[in-house]
Amino acid sequence: MNRLLRVFSASVLTAVLLLSGCSSAGTGTSTSGSAAASAAAPTADEAVASPINGVLAGYSGEILSVKATDGKTYEFVVPDPSVFTTTDALNIGDDVQVTFTGTVNGTDTTQATVTKVEDKSASSQTVQTIVGTVTDATMNTMTIQATAGLITFDTGSAQIISPNGVLIGDTVYIDYIGTINGTDASKVVVTTVVDNDDNRQPVQTAVPTPTPVVTATPSPEPTLVPQADIPVTVTNEWLYALQDATIYRGNSIKYKKVGTLWKGQGITVIGRTDDGWTKVNQDGVIGFVVSTALTSNPPSTPTPTPTATPTPTPAPTPTATPVVYHNLIINYKDTDGNTMFKSYVANLAEGTAYSVSSPLNMGSTPSQATVAGTMGNQDITVNVIYTPFYYSSGSGNGTGSIGDGASVGIGSGASVGS
């Protein structure tokens, strides 16, 4: 049973425009918005239409945020949904062209009236994840050391999930929308930053006075098609995850997240939709996963590299010792004994070293982050226990950490501009 302590909710723009923090990415190939920002003011007899091209950064209430190709962020008031032109749902990270009349002074759009918002992105988009070590962090940016090198992300509108605050040297997982070109992440929108490094234990010099818990008013969920009304073709299969994937309540990333499927993890399939989604059952939780993230091929079991037999000199050829295999079984359970993830099973030869990373869960901490050792002369069974943790919101600034021992999240109705 998964425990999710935080859910990132986004505002809803009717059936035409539904936005989520886990939306797909645009390519950011449109022309610079700086020329449009300096367009001449219309005369009294005519209204000159001017465009700004960029990436959709947010939509909350009637405020539309666009990160233009010149690096500036423009916020427009869009009270009329009929100005949107799109072939499918318009998502955060999509390439858009905002046409307006009036004037834009710098990033001041109070004298501009939006006449059209066009979706310039491809309809198929994917949420991706990158992992790295934090080398620098401010209130609005984060730099990590990844495989490709040092990459700086704009995290001003992202949800930050961390038990003790993100610190220099922590390993983080960044969910983003868009395409990273080498180490250039200027064309992506970061939705979530997860820090699972809880090995640092703060030294307590005194028992702090308990702070009263303030119960936040939950944000209203988007008005979407009920799960039971989503048409599916019934099936009964067992598939595996090609990559880490999010399980949603419905067949769209605009639905609430109800679970996570880790790479290589198996799951029961109970149906398929006509629009590329698969209905799954994860330990009694029903949801939908993008079909392209699943495969019928089970993950490969690592095969030990055979040791070359030395060429005998005068001595007779030694008889090869038969290789004996045993099972390595890792169970993932919570503190109540409930199964958190499907058990990891591998058949390994005696003497084979193994190292298996425990699946991540945003609401709890595994008793062993990595199960490692060497296969002996009998089966090995390991139980990894997930203990829930709790944290409260805080604030902080400055290079080196986000928050003062707390996590930072962007809730419904918030937008961030530059």
pLDDT at residue 46, rounded to an integer: 45
Over residues 125-152, the pLDDT tens digits come to 577 899 999 999 998 899 999 998 999 9
pLDDT at residue 55, rounded to an integer: 87
Given a cut of 90, is residue 380 above it in pLDDT?
A: yes
CA distance 291 to 141: 33
Given a cut of 60, is residue 22 above it in pLDDT?
A: no
Helix or strand holding residue 242 (H, E): none
Q: What is the mean pLDDT of residues 390-406?
A: 43
Percent pLDDT > 90 in the chain is 35
Burial of 298 (0-12, 13-18, 19+ CB in 10 A): exposed
Over residues 243-294, the pLDDT tens digits come to 999 999 999 998 999 999 999 999 999 999 999 999 999 999 999 999 999 9
Cβ-based neighbours of 43, under 8 Å, separated by 6 or more: none
Query: Do the bridges between strand 245-248 and strand 171-177 make them parallel or antiparallel, or are there none, so unpaired?
Result: unpaired
Confidence of residue 45 (pLDDT cuts 50, 70, 90): very low
Name the least confident of 48-52, 200-204, 383-387: 200-204
Look over the chain and give the mean of its residue pLDDT values, rounded to a whole number.
76
CB count in 10 Å sphere of residue 311: 6
pLDDT at residue 13, rounded to an integer: 35
pTM: predicted TM-score of the whole model, two decimal places: 0.27
Give strand ranges (E) for 203-357: 233-241, 245-248, 257-261, 266-272, 277-282, 285-290, 294-295, 325-334, 339-349, 353-357
CA distance 277 to 270: 11
36 vs 333, higher pLDDT: 333
Q: Token pair of 129, please? A: 């994840």
Over residues 186-238, the pLDDT tens digits come to 878 888 899 875 533 343 444 456 667 766 666 565 568 888 889 999 999 99
pLDDT at residue 39, rounded to an integer: 41
CA distance 365 to 385: 8
pLDDT at residue 33, rounded to an integer: 43
